[in-house]
Chain A
């Protein structure tokens, strides 16, 4: 079941095509990472989903139905370029923005109060926004985004400008929202947080979809077949015996040495274990799973035809 289907969306600006037949399916209840280098078209796509701009062609389905103006109330959006009215008081401003999202005054007030308590910012209610620090303002913006309990949440670089404590607070809230059934689209350059949060991703590069799917699938798809082995024994001995079938990329000699060994195509890890068990004392045996950071760089660089250091 998908909450959002983006189908072959095209968007042209005067001199370039911002999105070229971009498709992605966001499963209901997932945290979906929308990735891509700067200028890839992420913000344009997000704006199209928010109906700030319209696509030139292609369509977007929300819960299986064509996206319309009414869906605005069911989406919460935290833009990357975000700000607040500086001269306006925090309480008044959050109330205003909540009402623009279709909430009643009373309902907005009640929910705001409970969020303010949760974030321990009650005392800010009557402060002007310009009196708050940037991090404080971002807390307020986060509350505004999630206050109307939207089914779809779109966060564009949500953690920039937060200290680690508040990043954790936010992550905690994002997981809680997910548990309550919200679907979250998460656009970021911070690959560590993608690994930590996302279960699906879509990687856009130069206006086109490069990768799309479950994070676990993509990572195994990008698997390098590298095994890290910790062993006790003579590295030369290991080298001379394994080199016929396996490619030993490097060995760090120590009391317990580590070796990076590449499995040939079609070879299962057990075969290596069998070989190794004759040669050395195995202390550890791990498959090296590529990080999202590596995947990102490899995918983007190979798409632009560059030679990468991994191949």
Chain B
């Protein structure tokens, strides 16, 4: 068998069989799925508690006396009940609040039309759901009353007619003249997630290469191995083997997360919509979180469905397959470049504590990529985004952030080309320094020393 293949096999198997790899493979997707599903689950758990809210309506106009006992005009929801206590004394309520079992007391003062203020008393911070529900309903009620005061004919009919709800669907015109649905929030979410993942993977697996090199040095097996294979073969075998571990981990995560999310969604059944909301909200869709407050429940359902179609439509427009391909490319090649730099560090030191002085220049551009991410997402076609997605040390992260926003093909190709070109250089350099470094013990190495090794012609 080819020697480099043998080395790759050992590097790969020795890591994939490790307990930590198996644990990470299981925990990773659970974590991701959790991040997606948890908000929905948490929200649904929280809402299960029925909140009784006492209403003291000093104006009495927000109280419907048509029923007995009189009811507040604020509509109840599944988890919010409003109990009319117009005659109750606020002070005595306050004294006995703990015993009454009320979640809160809504006090509507007589001058509400002038002050536009109502007060919600409670002994803890009332949830956002409750206060926004009350605010919206009171607003609507007051607006209606003001309208009624204008004495317009057919008011109700007019109101029904003018009730409007707008959702802006983004449709992109592609070069081919087709229309594509898009969703800024989703695109940003995917860009952010892919950039972060690339950063994480390069960092985790790059330093894994470094530790592997140090391990071979400190265990002194390296001289035995390089008497059979060229140092360059050993280095490349390690870098490729570890890279394949990273790729395996990534694919396990993708598949496992997919299965988990799909499985949980199916299990949750009708609650699905809530989850989808949560998913899109975590993807940063602010538009939608405003829309969630639309009053009419039936209308909301319809909107949700429409919105889901939009999401699915725009997800298709982002072309997940294209993103996956780009991700794998930029991960592998970004990793190859950083992996070779990490291999240099590993070969230059005797133990991990000595790596510090060399780590900074390698990690700096990676961290810079993360810092620039927000900027790039706000203006994915700007000069900052362009140049940093060309610069090979930051391009894997920055280009991955840009790709969901549809980058012109030539830019992607140019960035990829520059990256590959740099890799040739960094791997060549790593090979030269590595073969000297791995046999060097007990020497304090500095950059000058590395430069000398680079020029050796052994």
Interface residues of A (CB under 8 A from B): 14, 47, 50-54, 72, 75, 77, 79, 81-88, 96-97, 99-102, 105, 141, 144
Question: Is residue B220 contacting chain A, with contact meaning CB distance below 8 A?
Answer: yes
Which residues of the partner chain B approach A81 to less than 8 Å between Cβ atoms? Answer: 220, 223, 441
Give bound CA distance, A287 to B218, whole Å. Answer: 49
Give bound CA distance, A273 to B120, whole Å. Answer: 127
Interface residues of B (CB under 8 A from A): 1, 3, 6-7, 10, 14, 215-216, 218-221, 223-229, 231, 439, 441, 452, 457-458
Give bound CA distance, A73 to B219, whole Å. Answer: 23
For residue A11, give the distance in angstroms from its CB to the closest CB of chain B: 9
Which residues of the partner chain A approach B223 to less than 8 Å between Cβ atoms? Answer: 52, 77, 79, 81-82
Contacts A81-B441, A100-B229 given: A141-B219 contact, CB under 8 Å? no
B452 touches A14 (CB 8 A): yes
For residue B28, give the distance in angstroms from its CB to the closest CB of chain A: 23
Q: Which 4 A-B residue pairs are closest in the complex by CB-CB distance?
A: A83-B220, A100-B228, A83-B219, A79-B223
Contacts A54-B458, A87-B14, A99-B6 given: A141-B228 contact, CB under 8 Å? no
A86 touches B219 (CB 8 A): yes
Which residues of the partner chain A approach B229 to less than 8 Å between Cβ atoms? Answer: 100
The count of A-to-B residue pairs whose CB atoms sit within 8 angstroms is 65
Which residues of the partner chain A approach B228 to less than 8 Å between Cβ atoms? Answer: 72, 97, 100-102
Give bound CA distance, A96 to B223, whole Å. Answer: 15
- Give 26 A-B contacts (CB < 8 Å), ordered by A residue: A51-B227, A52-B223, A52-B227, A52-B439, A53-B458, A54-B458, A72-B228, A75-B227, A79-B220, A79-B223, A79-B224, A79-B227, A82-B223, A82-B224, A83-B219, A84-B219, A84-B224, A85-B221, A86-B215, A87-B14, A96-B6, A97-B225, A97-B228, A99-B6, A101-B228, A105-B1
Give bound CA distance, A87 to B227, whole Å. Answer: 21
Which residues of the partner chain A approach B231 to less than 8 Å between Cβ atoms? Answer: 52
Which residues of the partner chain B approach A102 to less than 8 Å between Cβ atoms? Answer: 228
B3, B223, B441, most chain A CB atoms within 10 A: B223
For residue A134, give the distance in angstroms from its CB to the closest CB of chain B: 12
Which residues of the partner chain A approach B6 to less than 8 Å between Cβ atoms? Answer: 96, 99-100
B224 touches A141 (CB 8 A): yes
Contacts A52-B439, A99-B6, A100-B6 given: A83-B227 contact, CB under 8 Å? no
Give bound CA distance, A50 to B10, whole Å. Answer: 23
Which residues of the partner chain B approach A14 to less than 8 Å between Cβ atoms? Answer: 452
A83, A102, A141, most chain B CB atoms within 10 A: A83
Give bound CA distance, A83 to B223, whole Å. Answer: 9
Which residues of the partner chain B approach A88 to less than 8 Å between Cβ atoms? Answer: 14
For residue B211, give the distance in angstroms from its CB to the closest CB of chain A: 12
Give bound CA distance, A79 to B218, whole Å. Answer: 14
B3 touches A100 (CB 8 A): yes
B10 touches A82 (CB 8 A): no
Which residues of the partner chain A approach B452 to less than 8 Å between Cβ atoms? Answer: 14
Contacts A77-B227, A79-B223, A82-B223 given: A96-B439 contact, CB under 8 Å? no
A72 to chain B: closest residue by CB: B228
For residue B89, give the distance in angstroms from its CB to the closest CB of chain A: 75
Which residues of the partner chain B approach A105 to less than 8 Å between Cβ atoms? Answer: 1
A99 to chain B: closest residue by CB: B6
Contacts A52-B439, A54-B458, A81-B441 given: A96-B10 contact, CB under 8 Å? yes
The one of B220, B226, B457 in contact with A52, judged by C-beta atoms closer than 8 angstroms, is B226
B221 to chain A: closest residue by CB: A83
B224 touches A97 (CB 8 A): yes
Give bound CA distance, A88 to B223, whole Å. Answer: 17
Give bound CA distance, A85 to B222, whole Å. Answer: 9
A13 to chain B: closest residue by CB: B456
B9 to chain A: closest residue by CB: A96
For residue A92, give the distance in angstroms from its CB to the closest CB of chain B: 8
